[in-house]
């Protein structure tokens, strides 16, 4: 098995654990996405800087690369903000699969900037993952059928993910991965500082000690997942890596079902037979699409 596939699966496992923690925090401890973004973001970026100080020569690169890396960090924290908003508005097992539309935006960017071309099977796989995301976002009410509001936040995140993935792929060809982490962290911390200064009083009044500690843990695990994802992008095709991340909804679905059966009060999820069947079919389509991509 190729290295980029292994790194991708490692990243998926870390991020699934993070999503479970985040959903619990947003449901019961910290119900403000901005506060969650600040705390989790700072924890993540501190880990980035520790890794950079230990393994990387973060001044041994051009100003151009530094600026691009800072920009990637800004994109990272903005996508985290939208992610928390989406997680708050939707069930975890609904929102996470929606992020599978990211390859739709990565595909043209990968072709334009890196000349990435694939077989018909690969394109078919990407198409199936997108169909699965649309299916899982489809919500039928008494009055009419509509797409869930989480889809729109997923689109925002997918666009940011796509740009960030292409940026990361580009700068890893110009500088050491560990050194880049330092400047990515700088960009992310800039966003966290601006958010904190804007919402300082609310942060101090809202967050609990448990919520704070859980978000710190989430941030640390997010960093390790990002390291694995970063290495996957560096060693593989940016389009294929992003598409393979679509296996994550399966992990999230299994994790949610397992936890709800054992500890039903930990995660708030709508679990009717119709909803579960629809999610199951959508995730199966995504898994088939992932197999075709690989």
DSSP structural state of residue 148: -
How large is the average pLDDT for residues 177-194?
88
Angular region, 91: left φ>0, alpha ψ -120 to 50, beta rest = beta
Q: Which residues have C-beta within 8 Å of that of residue 123, sequence separation ≥ 6?
A: none
pLDDT band at 56 (very low <50, low <70, confident <90, very high): low
Nearest to 76 by CA among 111, 32, 42: 42
- Tell me the pLDDT tens digit for each residue of 160-171: 888 877 887 788
> Has residue 137 got a pLDDT over 70?
no
Write out pLDDT tens, residues 192-223. 899 888 877 666 666 666 778 889 999 999 99
Structural domain that includes position 229: 3-293
pLDDT value, residue 149: 63
Q: pLDDT per residue over 4-34, tens digit each?
A: 888 888 998 898 899 888 888 888 888 788 8
Q: What total of structural domains would you count in the chain?
A: 1
- State how far the Cα of 184 lies from the Cα of 67, in Å rounded to an integer: 9
The two three-digit tokens of residue 205, written as one number: 């009044």
Q: What's the average model confidence in pLDDT over 229-236?
A: 82
The rounded mean pLDDT for the chain is 79
Please state, in angstroms and rounded to a whole number, the distance separating the CA atoms of residues 81 and 159.
14
Question: Across residues 267-292, what is the average pLDDT?
Answer: 74
Judge contact between 279 and 165, C-beta under 8 A.
no
Mean pLDDT of 262-268: 70
At 219 the pLDDT is 92
pLDDT, residue 136, reads 66
The mean pLDDT value for 56-73 works out to 83
Lowest-confidence range among 61-75, 209-223, 230-244?
230-244
- Radius of gyration (C-alpha) of the chain in whole angstroms: 19
Coil vs helix vs strand at 140: strand
The pLDDT tens digits of the residues spanning 73-123 come to 898 888 888 888 888 877 776 777 777 777 777 777 777 777 777 778 878
Q: Beta partners for 138?
A: 147
pTM exceeds 0.85 for this model: no
Q: Specify the pLDDT at position 232.
A: 87
CB neighbourhood size of 54 (10 A) = 8
Q: Phi, psi (5° rounding) for residue 138?
A: -80, 125
Q: What is the pLDDT at residue 220?
A: 94
pLDDT at position 218: 92
Instruction: Note the pLDDT of residue 125.
Output: 80
Please tell me the predicted confidence (pLDDT) of residue 224.
92
What angle is formed at CA 178 by the lines to CA 14 and CA 52, rounded to 5 degrees?
95
Rounded to whole angstroms, how far apart are CA atoms 255 and 16?
8
Are 120 and 43 a contacting pair, CB within 8 Å? no
pLDDT at 36: 87
Helical packing angle, 209-235 and 150-171, nearest 10°: 50
């Amino acid at each position: 098995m190729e290295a980029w596939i292994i790194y991708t699966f490692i990243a998926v496992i870390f991020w699934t654990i993070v999503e479970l923690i985040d959903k619990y925090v947003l449901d019961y401890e910290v119900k403000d996405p901005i506060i969650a973004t600040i705390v989790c973001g700072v924890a993540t970026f501190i880990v980035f800087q520790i890794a950079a100080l230990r393994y990387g020569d973060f001044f041994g690169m051009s100003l151009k690369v530094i600026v691009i890396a800072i920009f990637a960090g800004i994109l990272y924290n903005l996508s985290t903000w939208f992610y928390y908003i989406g997680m708050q508005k939707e069930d975890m097992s609904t929102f996470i699969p929606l992020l599978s539309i990211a390859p739709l935006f990565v595909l043209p960017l990968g072709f334009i900037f890196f000349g990435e071309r694939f077989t018909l099977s690969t394109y078919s796989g990407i198409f199936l993952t997108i169909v699965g995301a649309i299916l899982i976002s489809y919500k039928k009410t008494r009055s009419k059928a509509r797409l869930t509001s989480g889809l729109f936040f997923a689109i925002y995140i997918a666009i940011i993910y796509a740009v960030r993935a292409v940026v990361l792929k580009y700068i890893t060809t110009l500088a050491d991965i560990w050194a880049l982490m330092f400047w990515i962290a700088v960009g992310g911390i800039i966003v966290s500082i601006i958010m904190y200064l804007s919402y300082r009083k609310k942060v101090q009044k809202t967050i609990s000690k448990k919520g704070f500690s859980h978000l710190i843990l989430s941030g640390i695990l997010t960093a390790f997942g990002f390291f694995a994802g970063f290495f996957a992008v560096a060693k593989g095709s940016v389009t294929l890596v992003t598409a393979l991340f679509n296996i994550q909804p399966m992990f999230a679905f299994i994790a949610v079902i397992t936890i709800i059966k054992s500890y039903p009060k930990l995660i708030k999820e709508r679990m009717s037979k119709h909803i579960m069947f629809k999610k199951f079919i959508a995730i199966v389509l995504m898994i088939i699409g992932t197999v075709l991509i690989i």
